Amino acid sequence: MTASPARLVVDAHAVTGEGPVWCEREQVLWWVDIDGGQLHCFDPSNGKDQNWDLGESVACVQLREEGGVVLALKSGFAFFDPTTGAIERLATPEAHEPCNRFNDGAVDTRGRFWAGTMRMHKHGIQPTGAVYRLDPDGRCTRMMDGFWTINGMAFSPDGTKFYFSDSTAKVRTIWVADYDPDTGTMGPRRVFFDTKDLAGRPDGGAVDAEGFYWMAGITGGELVRFTPAGAIDRIVPMPVKRLTKLAFGGPDLSTGYVTSLGGNNWQESGDAPESGGLFELALGIKGQVANRYGG
C-alpha cells in the first residue's frame, strides 16, 4: 500500500519535537518538545493540542497502566498526572553527569521502561550516553553505555527483539538484540542496518504489527520501513527534512503521527516553515498498541 501525503496537524514550532505515543484508551497522542520543556497531548477528534511546561527538558513520554504518564526528564524518571499537573520524582541515575540528558525510550511487553541518555551540545571526546531500565517496582538499573546519541528504541510485537540506534553522524547505526521479556535482559547486539548510504540518520524508531521496523530519517526527510531481516521495504517521503519519530495511532492504528525538529534554525538547515510541527498521514499499515509502564 502507498502512504498518503503527510499533512500538518499541529503547527507547534517545537524546538525539538519528539517521542509520540498513542493512547488507545483515550484516542489521543502524547508527544514532547525536548528542549522546549513541553509535554503535549493532541486530540485528533477536535484538533486541539494541550501542553504543559515542565520547567526542564523532557526527553520522552510513555503511558502508565495505572493512568497518567511516565517521563524521562533531564533530571531523571518521573510520573506525571495530567489532571493535577503533579510530578512525582522516581530516580535520578545521572545526577553525576550534568552535561547529559535523556533522549529516547520505550516500554517492553512486561511494563519495563527503557530510556537512554546523551551528552548535550558538544559531544566531547568520549561517548557518555547510557541506557537504563526502570522496572515496575521503581528499581533503576544501568544496562548499557558507550553511546553518543541513543535513539530508535522499540520492541518487536512478541517482545523478543529489542531495537536501538546511535544517530550521531559518526555512527548512524541501528542494532537489534534478542530480548527475554520474562527477565528483562538482552543478548549481544548485532548490526540491523548501517544507514550511511541513506539520506537520513536514524532517529526515533517504531515497530508495526507485522514486525517491520520504521526509522525516522532525520536530515533526510523520509521514513524508512525495514523487514525483520534488515532489508529496506519502502521509503516514505515527508514534507520536512528533520523528522524525529513515528507513532501509529487512530481508531485502527493505521494513522501515522510524526514529530519534527524546529527551532530558529530551520531556514539555515534548508527545512520547511512547518518544521517543528506534528504531521499526520495514512500509512495503510497497522501499528501495535503501545506497551504501558507497569508501575
Positions marked catalytic: 203
Residues 275 and 21: their CA atoms lie apart, in Å, by 19
Beta pairing class for 213-218 and 201-207: antiparallel
Residues 191 and 86: their CA atoms lie apart, in Å, by 41
Q: How far is CA 69 from CA 113, 122, 245, 294, in A?
A: 11, 31, 18, 11
Q: What's the 3-state SS for 171-220?
A: CCEEEEEEEECCCCEECCCEEEEEHHHCCCEEEEEEEECCCCEEEEEECC
